[in-house]
Amino acid sequence: MIETITELDALRARVREWKRQGLRVGFVPTMGNLHAGHYSLVMLARQYADRVVSSVFVNPTQFGPNEDFTRYPRTPDADTAGLEGAGCDVLWLPTVESMYPFGVELASKVRVPGVSQVLEGEHRPGHFDGVCTVVSRLFHQVQPDVAAFGKKDYQQLAVIRQLVADLQFPIEIVGGGIVREADGLAMSSRNQYLGPDERPRAPTIHRVLLAMRDAALAGTPRAQVEAQGSRQLQDAGFDVDYAVVRRPDLSEPADGEPGPRVALVAARLGRTRLIDNLEF
């Protein structure tokens, strides 16, 4: 049976007891409204740990003023049942008051420069400050040995890796592969915002990423690959924030330079902003 904990002292006591027994603790932070992608992270964490804690906390500090904080879907009963099915031991449910004891305005902030300032950082100013601030607090609360983050949020994973290295958290970070619907759409809590005329068009993002990969591997100059990707998305009715090819650290590669790459897209379909990526 999964145990739901809402008090920090109780969480700390549970984790202390596990560690006293020599058990390794895994952690999967989430904002709830869980789907197969989240559950795959719980199962991944299980491979690295004897016990798994997952948190559900819709973090106000990572949403911009015109973003979807208030309408972000909250489904606590389904989340609890799903986490139990995935093998999670403890569901940690902090309140806004316990996460930010001095209030959101007076909260100490954690900022990771560089990797958090490009792409999502340009289009969602302050977003990664909110993510790093809450993830640092969650790490202090849970004190895991290993934490799992999804590769769908590719840049978030890169930012968290830098945060952990820079602040020397003794936590191993593992990345879980993107889980897709049958038509290629990357699973996301925000997919449910898509209207009936938008949902069938949403997998275009994955098709465009595949085409960008193929063009890049065929030696097409990067600027052309990115322009083609943007155009294909616009032709399908998307408002494009970016469609780019980057090195794994998100810096810009030179044409002809060998090495692994990732194609990343962020684009809006109506009011829904979708992100996805493809490593190659």
Binding of ligand PAF by 134 (CB under 6 A)? yes
Binding of ligand PAF by 29 (CB under 6 A)? yes
* Sole window of 12-20, 128-136, 255-263, 272-280 interacting with ligand PAF (rule: CB under 6 A): 128-136
**Residue 143, both tokens:** 């004190």
**Residue 135, both tokens:** 């993830």
Instruction: State which residue, 59 or 232, has the beta carbon closest to ligand PAF.
Output: 59
Burial classification of residue 172, based on how many CB atoms lie within 10 Å of its CB (0-12 exposed, 13-18 middle, 19 or more buried) = middle
Instruction: State which residue, 40 or 62, has the beta carbon closest to ligand PAF.
Output: 62
Q: At its nearest, how many Å lie between ligand PAF and the CB of residue 149?
A: 6
Q: At its nearest, how many Å lie between ligand PAF and the CB of residue 156?
A: 6
∠ at Cα 86 (83, 89), nearest 5°?
Answer: 60
**Residue 162, both tokens:** 């830098």
CA gap 164, 170 in Å, rounded: 8
DSSP per residue, 262-276: EEEEEEEETTEEEEE
3-state secondary structure of 24: coil
Binding of ligand PAF by 164 (CB under 6 A)? no
The active-site residue, picked from 35, 38, 127, 206, is 38
Q: Is 140 one of the annotated active-site residues of the chain?
A: no
Burial classification of residue 108, based on how many CB atoms lie within 10 Å of its CB (0-12 exposed, 13-18 middle, 19 or more buried) = exposed
3-state secondary structure of 51: strand
3-state secondary structure of 47: helix
Which of 5, 31, 164, 186 binds ligand PAF (CB under 6 A)? It is 31
Touching ligand PAF, residues 62-91 (CB under 6 A):
62
Binding of ligand PAF by 30 (CB under 6 A)? yes
Binding of ligand PAF by 131 (CB under 6 A)? yes
Phi and psi at residue 106, to the nearest 5°: -95, 5
Instruction: State which residue, 176 or 229, has the beta carbon closest to ligand PAF.
Output: 176
Binding of ligand PAF by 59 (CB under 6 A)? yes
Which of 41, 119, 135, 208 binds ligand PAF (CB under 6 A)? It is 135
Instruction: State which residue, 55 or 230, has the beta carbon closest to ligand PAF.
Output: 55
Q: Is residue 194 within 8 Å of 202, Cβ to Cβ?
A: yes
Q: Is residue 151 within 8 Å of 176, Cβ to Cβ?
A: yes
Q: At its nearest, how many Å lie between ligand PAF and the CB of residue 28?
A: 9
Binding of ligand PAF by 153 (CB under 6 A)? yes
* Sole window of 88-96, 110-118, 130-138, 228-236 interacting with ligand PAF (rule: CB under 6 A): 130-138
Which residues contribute to the site for ligand PAF (CB under 6 A)? 29-31, 59, 62, 131, 134-135, 153, 156
What is the set of active-site residues?
38
